[in-house]
Amino acid sequence: MARLDFDFHARPRHPGKLGVMLALAGLVALGWAWNTLQASRATEAGLALQIDALERARPRAVAPSAASSADTHRDDAHKRLAAQLAYSWQPAFDALAAARNDKIALVSLDALQAKSQLKLTAEARQLADAVDFIDALQQQPGVKRAALFQHEVQADADQQPVRFNIVVELNP
């Protein structure tokens, strides 16, 4: 049996005018992109040289009073940052651990270092359990004040727990 070859789209033997024009346009675009890349590299090198020159000339150009105020400002910022990094939350965690009981479920904890506060959201089976938890927190060393700010009964839950929000102020 003879083999049948169906060629529905015959390829031209030589590239047409459109193919040659597209190839030339691609070469022009490639040349333009290469030229733009080289120009941006030269600009970058020039800017780097200018930055180096400005950094070397900077100490001589700055007045002594301006330098001292800038240094003071920078030192204050460093001190604030060091104080934030050195802040210890361990007394607050110890107070929470000591006041913990089986009747309270801690839902969320939000720490505010600037105010030395903890904002707690918790759930209890009864409001009396929540009040007992707040009293236990108030008695812990390192706790300045513990206050109940909001409570509500979760009516849509099966056991209808009381969800409450507490703000705990810590001793600095």
Which mean pLDDT values do the consecutive 10-residue runs of the chain (172 residues) have? Answer: 71 78 95 95 88 74 59 82 74 88 92 87 93 93 91 86 94 78
> Which residue segment(s) compose the domain that 122 sits in?
90-170
- Residues 165, 97 share a domain: yes
pLDDT the model gives residue 59: 58
> Is there a single domain that holds both residue 96 and residue 67?
no
Q: What are the backbone angles phi and psi of residue 35, rounded to the nearest 5°?
A: -65, -40
Task: Report pLDDT for 60.
Answer: 55
| Number of domains within the chain | 2
The reply to whether 120 and 144 lie within a common domain is: yes
Verify that 97 and 148 share a domain, yes or no.
yes
127 and 152 assigned to the same domain: yes
Phi first, then psi, for residue 159 (nearest 5°) are: -95, 0
Establish if 5 belongs to a structural domain: no
Task: Judge whether 4 lies within some domain.
Answer: no
CATH number at residue 119: 3.30.1360.100
Residues 142 and 14: their CA atoms lie apart, in Å, by: 88
Amino acid identity for residue 140 in this structure: Q
What is the pLDDT at residue 137?
Answer: 93
pLDDT of res. 166: 95
CB 170 within 8 A of CB 163: no
Do 39 and 110 lie in a common domain? no
Which amino acid is residue 154, in one-letter code?
Answer: Q
d(CA 147, CA 171): 15
pTM of the model: 0.51
The per-residue pLDDT for 167 is 95
